[in-house]
């Protein structure tokens, strides 16, 4: 058999172990990244600083995730998926735990940056493991279920902080929140006893060591290869696709609590419930996305879902123009708009699968992390908190600025998707 067509299979037990490992890793990715969002007032009082100063810790986490996405993705292609995935878990676990012992804001920034390194690295590595183990017939569904773990991680952060703040008060509750998340994250290191290494990655490296690669096969460092003549167009396209998609998503997600609190004067308990319920009710969108990605194709699923986001945001925009008032959740129109928004955001579910299928085994983790984490988070997501306030200075309405940002991101993403290769049915091989 031609080595370029060689296929490798996994047992059902191996697939279940990989599934459990990457699911838990991604759950704790969201858990760790978002826990600080729910303890900002308590941290500011305890550390004698403003909420905005503490909130910069989120920015430092994102900056760390950009660096970590680049470095750990590259390491995973060179040294293996399993050991580097465990290293990312150890990194965000230990530095999250230590955040519970900080005494000033500068320590918060340092530790959140260091935790961010692991958070950013985990994304592409987990999806690479999943891609390389799963059949092309159901890979989209598996990827979408994996991505759905992130919002459940956010929910876990909400519940953890709420329980611990209520039980131990504002002085100790926020510290115990970081400590608990850190300890639980570190407990995932026990996965080393059940998580198998990627067979595709091992097969590729065995061929490389034994000199069995095809003549003139490119074995340069993955960072150079993803910008080679053969791959650079794909890398640029999916990187800017990610930037637009995440800019649109973060334009809404980051500012919705502020808009509800300051713009519509909704009590904190009520708007927290609105956001949490909308998130949970909209989560099935990920599962529908995975089904469509396997049935109709990766691009077609995106081109079905993203127009739904645009229509939803237009409805949100029209409601904001009418200055909606809030009396209860069931009669609040923006609650239903948020449900629809979260549902259609489900198209993110199979992006890790789509990106991974575009690249050979030798660069898969590097390319996936570069596109989604380095450019997507670093350029797209990180620019939303800067650009949306600028919109507000012209529009004079945060709700309208949010929806404009969301629509711009969605339109940019869907336009770029037409130029990216369809990968439905791709069988992954060592080469």
Share of the chain above pLDDT 90, in %: 63
pLDDT digits (tens, 9 = 90+) for 189-198: 998 889 999 9
Highest mean pLDDT among 7-11, 276-280, 302-306: 302-306
Residue 126 CA: distances (Å) to CA of 25, 26, 106: 8, 8, 31
pLDDT digits (tens, 9 = 90+) for 216-267: 899 999 999 999 999 999 999 999 999 999 999 989 987 887 788 888 988 8
Using the predicted structure, report yes or no on whether residue 55 has a pLDDT greater than 60: yes
Q: Average the pLDDT over 58-76 and give the result.
A: 91
Using the predicted structure, report yes or no on whether residue 97 has a pLDDT greater than 90: yes
Nearest partner of 174 among 51, 38, 276, judged by Cα: 38
Structure tokens at 98: 């230590």
| pLDDT band (50, 70, 90) for residue 1 | very low
Q: Average the pLDDT over 331-354 and give the result.
A: 95
- 280 CB-side CA count, 13 A: 10
Using the predicted structure, report yes or no on whether residue 368 has a pLDDT greater than 90: yes
Q: Average the pLDDT over 365-389 and give the result.
A: 90
Q: Which long-range contacts (CB under 8 A, 24 or more apart) does 400-405 make?
A: 400/317, 400/320, 400/321, 401/251, 401/255, 402/251, 402/252, 402/255, 402/256, 402/259, 403/251, 403/252, 403/313, 403/314, 403/316, 403/317, 403/320, 404/251, 404/317, 405/247, 405/248, 405/251, 405/252
What are the chain's domains? 13-193+200-210 (1.20.1250.20), 223-423 (1.20.1250.20)
Among 5-14, 55-64, 236-245, 315-324, name the one with the lowest average pLDDT: 5-14
pTM of the model: 0.88
């Amino acid at each position: 058999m031609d080595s370029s067509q060689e296929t490798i299979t996994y047992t059902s037990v191996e697939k279940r172990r990989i599934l459990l490992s990457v699911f838990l890793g991604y759950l704790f990715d969201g858990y760790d990244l978002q826990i600080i969002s729910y303890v900002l007032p308590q941290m500011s009082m305890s550390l004698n600083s403003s909420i905005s100063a503490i909130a910069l810790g989120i920015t430092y986490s994102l900056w760390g995730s950009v660096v970590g996405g680049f470095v750990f993705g590259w390491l995973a292609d060179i040294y293996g998926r399993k050991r580097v995935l465990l290293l990312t878990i150890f990194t965000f676990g230990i530095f999250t735990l230590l955040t519970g012992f900080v005494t000033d804001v500068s320590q918060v920034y340092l530790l959140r940056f260091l935790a961010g390194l692991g958070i950013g690295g985990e994304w592409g590595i987990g999806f690479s493991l999943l891609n390389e183990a799963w059949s092309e017939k159901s890979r989209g569904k598996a990827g979408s279920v994996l991505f759905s773990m992130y919002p459940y991680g956010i929910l876990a952060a909400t519940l953890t902080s709420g329980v611990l703040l209520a039980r131990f008060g504002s002085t100790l509750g926020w510290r115990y929140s970081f400590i608990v998340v850190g300890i639980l994250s570190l407990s995932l290191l026990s996965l080393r006893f059940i998580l198998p290494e990627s067979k595709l990655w091992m097969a590729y490296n065995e061929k490389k060591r034994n000199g069995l690669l095809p003549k003139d096969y490119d074995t340069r460092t993955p960072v150079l290869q993803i910008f080679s003549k053969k791959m650079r167009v794909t890398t640029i396209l999916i990187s800017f696709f990610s930037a637009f998609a995440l800019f649109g998503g973060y334009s809404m997600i980051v500012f919705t609590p502020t808009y509800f609190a300051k713009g519509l004067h909704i009590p904190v308990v009520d708007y927290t419930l609105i956001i949490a319920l909308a998130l949970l009710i909209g989560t099935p969108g990920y599962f529908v996305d995975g089904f469509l990605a396997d049935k109709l194709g990766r691009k077609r699923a995106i081109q079905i879902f993203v127009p739904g986001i645009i229509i939803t945001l237009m409805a949100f925009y029209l409601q904001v123009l009418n200055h909606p008032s809030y009396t209860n959740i069931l009669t609040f129109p923006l609650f239903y708009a948020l449900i629809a928004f979260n549902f259609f955001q489900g198209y993110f579910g199979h992006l890790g699968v789509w990106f991974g299928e575009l690249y050979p085994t030798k660069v898969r983790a590097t390319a996936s992390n570069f596109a989604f984490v380095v450019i997507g988070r670093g350029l797209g997501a990180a620019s939303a908190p800067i650009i949306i306030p600028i919109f507000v200075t012209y529009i004079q309405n945060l709700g309208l600025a949010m929806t404009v940002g969301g629509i711009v991101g969605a339109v940019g993403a869907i336009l770029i998707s037409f130029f990216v290769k369809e990968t439905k049915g791709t069988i992954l091989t060592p080469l």
